Structure 1
């Protein structure tokens, strides 16, 4: 097994990966019951090389059911019929998961509503209130 290149300067050593072939769930006839074509990939994310502190913090704070309590990331790949394609799929999903945390999220800049949008909002509220007033029954009417 070889190291997984996540991004330029960021990689996961092969020693931090554990791969196991398992039987694939779901339909498939006799072949699915006797051949282990699905892949279970476990990756120790604390072994990532070249990860800055911010990305490491975002990664540890991630809420994902595939992230186990001991810091191991677990992927089960069984989309494809062959072991090789499932192995490649599991690695691609691992890379995509880690890459999400490399770029810090952009912070929202608070802005004030424009005067025109405030005016439109008030006009809509007045129109809605007028509709409700017209629906009310008035004493002394029909």
Structure 2
């Protein structure tokens, strides 16, 4: 931050974390480079999923969002071919507050976190309320709920 005073409505988890890497989910669900559009459509059946990360040997190839999945795209088409990286990634050392502001301004809920070599390190997940970020514990709690534990 460039000397600006943080907003008084700044969520505690955002205020505590200096960088994106402090707030990201460290083990997001990913899809292999062979993933198809049909597989991504099934992936998005979970309403918590807002971005499909297509990864090859740790390297992020594409981020696919629901808006990328036009009805006219055949289900057998490569998912990596319809996604993109531009505007959908962030570095782990990026200052969190400006990224939070940008995500809220753009209505963006997910950003893939990548290093300088394009390696996928995690996923920054803005909560539906816009008042903070999902944690690894939140993801684990949802998984347990789905499994009925």
Q: Which has the higher helix share?
A: 1
User: What interval of TM-score do these two structures reach, taking the shorter chain for normalisation?
Assistant: under 0.3
Relative CO higher for 1 or 2, CA cutoff 8 Å, sep ≥ 6?
2
Q: TM-score normalised to the size of structure 1?
A: 0.22
Larger-Rg structure: 1
